[in-house]
Amino acid sequence: MKIGMIGYGKAGSAVAAILQQDPRYQLGWIATRSGLPQVVTVGHIEVPVVALDPATFGDWVDTHAVDALVDFSGAASVAVYGAHVKRLGLMLVTAISSYDHLQLDYIRSLGTHARVLCSPNITVGINFLIMAAKLLRDIAPFADVEILEQHFREKPEVSGTARKIAQSLSVDDGKIVSMRLGGIVGHHEVIFGFPHQTVRLIHESIRREAFGTGAAFALSELQNCENGFYSFDDLLMMRVRKHLTGT
């Protein structure tokens, strides 16, 4: 599958490296705000970089065909490429976490014309942890639940992922315990306190490349989907259903 990458910053460059290493995918080009430098080396491959300019992007995508777009840029980009997702039925994986309601509605509408995955958290591990925690909460609503998040010393705010875990378990944000310690990249732990046992579900972030593993998973799952708008949770649940039914 040929990929057009939107955004090549801290996350995008790590994701591009993972996609380029994966034999299922080939990076066709990268689009950024500036379009500079004009070429980057990803692994051993030179990949062209173009500016995501509304005046020229349509011609670019027509002459440099790809099957899918993977977006790790900013919330504004979809206004430039969205029409071409619609026109060409391009598969879209967008990881942007800061869309407003109007942008989200627009992205949802693209699902009528293409297969679209939109996820503010795109790691397989965290999404799996949330799914497992929801299941356990359902099985044992009487267990006490606390969420522990640990991050590097400089991170000022409570982790958005921890808030999302709390929300999906219907527990109050007051159940989140935050620790700021040295250089920890990201630790999320959901602790279930039963009367006679304790269950701890733990996710440790190691490197940004984990976002690439999530994007690669999303692209491969979307291939088996109809046009539509999907969350990461939707894709995981489809996989679980397949596993349970053996189909």
Ligand X SMILES: NC(=O)c1ccc[n+]([C@@H]2O[C@H](COP(=O)([O-])OP(=O)(O)OC[C@H]3O[C@@H](n4cnc5c(N)ncnc54)[C@H](OP(=O)(O)O)[C@@H]3O)[C@@H](O)[C@H]2O)c1
Active-site option among 155, 164, 175, 187: 155
Q: How far apart are CA 178 and CA 159, in angstroms?
A: 8
**Stretches 68-76, 106-114, 139-147, 164-172: which one binds ligand X (CB under 6 A)?**
68-76
Examine residue 3 and tell whether it contacts ligand X (CB under 6 A). Answer: no
**Phi, psi values for residue 59, rounded to 5°:** -65, -40
| Separation between Cα atoms, residue 42 and residue 240, nearest integer Å | 33
Residue 155 a catalytic site member: yes
Residue 217 CB, nearest approach to ligand X (Å): 12
**Is residue 34 a contact point for ligand X (CB under 6 A)?**
yes
Residues 79 to 108 in contact with ligand X, rule: CB under 6 A: 95-98
Q: Does 202 bind ligand X (CB under 6 A)?
A: no
What is the C-alpha separation between 33 and 10, in angstroms, rounded?
14
Residue with Cβ nearer ligand X (85 or 145): 85
Nearer to ligand X, 136 or 208 (CB): 208
Q: Based on the shown chain and the rule CB under 6 A, indicate whether residue 119 belongs to the binding site for ligand X.
A: yes
Q: Which of 60, 5, 61 is nearest to 31 (CA)?
A: 5
Of positions 74, 125, 193, 228, contacts ligand X by CB under 6 A:
74
Q: Tokens for 91?
A: 């598969």
Q: Are 188 and 202 within 8 A, CB to CB?
A: yes
Q: How far is the CB of 205 from ligand X (least distance, A)?
A: 10
Rounded to a whole number of angstroms, the minimum distance from the CB of residue 17 to ligand X is 13
Match 């009487």 to its residue by tokens.
Answer: 142
Nearest partner of 28 among 55, 67, 62, 57, judged by Cα: 67
Token duo for residue 209: 């490349």
**Alpha carbon distance 69, 196 (integer Å):** 49
Q: Considering beta carbons, is residue 149 or 192 the nearer one to ligand X?
A: 149
The answer to whether 12 and 5 have CB atoms below 8 angstroms apart is: yes
Residue 208, helix vs strand vs coil: coil
CB of 157 to ligand X, least distance (A): 14
The residue at minimum Cβ distance from ligand X is 9
**Stretch in the footprint of ligand X (CB under 6 A) among 4-12, 54-62, 186-194, 216-224:** 4-12
Residue 242 annotated to the active site: no
Instruction: Name the site residues for ligand X (rule: CB under 6 A).
Output: 7-12, 32-34, 52, 72-74, 76-77, 95-98, 119-122, 211
Active site residues: 151, 155
